[in-house]
Amino acid sequence: MAVMLLKPAKAAADAWLARFADAAPDLEVRVWPELGDEAEIDYAFIWDPPPGLLAKLPRLKGVFSLGAGADHLFRDPDLPRGLPLTRVVDPSMTARVTEHGLTLVLHLHRNMAAYGAAQRRGEWAPEPQPRAQDRPVGILGLGVLGGDLARRCADLGFPVAGWSRTAKHLDGIDCFHGAEGLVPFLARSQILVCLLPLTPETDRIMDAALFAGLPKGAMVVNLGRGKHLATEDLVAALESGHLAHAALDVFEPEPLPAESPLWAHPKVTITPHVAGVTDPDAVVAQVLENIRRIEAGEPVLHPVDRDLGY
Ligand code: NDP
Ligand code: OXD
């Protein structure tokens, strides 16, 4: 049995190969593009496959995303139909994304960008200190990651609301859903965090119309995907003063090109797509379990719904 490993961006291929060798010494793992006979590949564990590659693997039985998001799989118009698709769901990834989300929410809440600028000017310049309880946080996406960040923000005293596709109930969180829920959700969100999956419905969801629905002086955090954001609308909303600051972890394209206006914008904080990493130890075990399940004809863990796109 052979697994194709493709573009393990956040850990070197060697680290993944060592984990697979420890956990499943009999499994052959071939690192793309050195695939040998493509007809021998049974499973693909991948990030951002070149379009058409998977369609050329006649024995393929399952496709496993190397990350929590699966949008990169759907960029391939020839993604084979009828195969199980899975994504990463892992408590250590959730913990890291939540840490990064909390870091950025607190960065905005405590106006850390102003202290950075004052320090560079050599100026002692205390900022006002609004209370967490007076700063409503809104999370777009109340799934594995958004749900966890929502709870942790609530633990810090922020009034927290979340927005999802279907109705939800989370203790201590104001839950909104669907198109009709978006307007009241935005109207009460002073810090808006995006943890949506990228789908045709959420592509460029953070645009001028959405920003107009936020209170004046609101701030945004994007941890989802770069394509959730209409960058030109963000820059306009920052420059008009309607939005006060944006903290962005994800971009389109990545790496963010040197000429992007975001790099030098005084109201933008940038991190280089580092909110969550895929942990080889936890995730190799998930891949092996999913191979076992597919071979046994059982439902996979953490499936991706091809019709919903997440
Ligand atoms: P989940 O699938 O668990 O949650 C997705 C949430 O988004 C659900 O609440 C879902 O609603 C909601 N949603 C989806 N489509 C819509 C829509 N059209 N309208 C309203 N709500 C919608 O995903 P995760 O929480 O695990 O991950 C979210 C995303 O985070 C990933 O897809 C990835 O892009 C990004 N990510 C970024 C990382 C980084 O390093 N920056 C690291 C890991 C992930 P419902 O509950 O009703 O289904
Ligand atoms: C992911 C990511 O989807 O790192 O896992 O963005």
What would the pLDDT profile of 136-181 be if each residue is shown by its tens digit?
999 999 999 999 999 999 999 999 999 999 999 999 999 999 999 9
CB 168 within 8 A of CB 144: no
Domain ranges of the chain: 3-90+278-296, 91-270
In degrees, rounded to 5, the angle at the alpha carbon of residue 171 between the alpha carbons of residues 165 and 176 is 25
Class of the domain covering 3-90+278-296: alpha beta
Query: Higher confidence at residue 279 or residue 198?
Result: 198
Please name which ligand lies nearest the alpha carbon of 185. 1
Amino acid (one-letter) located at 189: S
Alpha helices in 3-64, H assignment, sequence order:
13-23
CB 2 within 8 A of CB 30: yes
Task: Assess whether the region 3-90+278-296 and the region 91-270 belong to the same CATH fold.
Answer: yes
* Catalytic residue set: 225, 273
Verify whether ligand 1 is closer than 6 Å to residue 268 (CB atom).
no
**Could you tell me the two tokens for 209?**
């119309």
Residue where the block lists tokens 């900022």: 127
Strands (E), 32-114: 41-46, 62-65, 85-86
Q: What band does 12 get if pLDDT is binned at 50, 70 and 90?
A: confident
Q: What are phi and psi of 139, to 5 degrees?
A: -115, 120
Look over the chain and give the mean of its residue pLDDT values, rounded to a whole number.
96
CATH code of the domain made up of 91-270: 3.40.50.720
CB 189 within 8 A of CB 163: no
Nearest CA to ligand 1 atom 39: 275
Verify whether ligand 1 is closer than 6 Å to residue 97 (CB atom).
yes
pLDDT of the residue at 13: 86
Verify whether ligand 1 is closer than 6 Å to residue 260 (CB atom).
no
- What's the CA gap between 64 and 44, in Å, rounded? 6
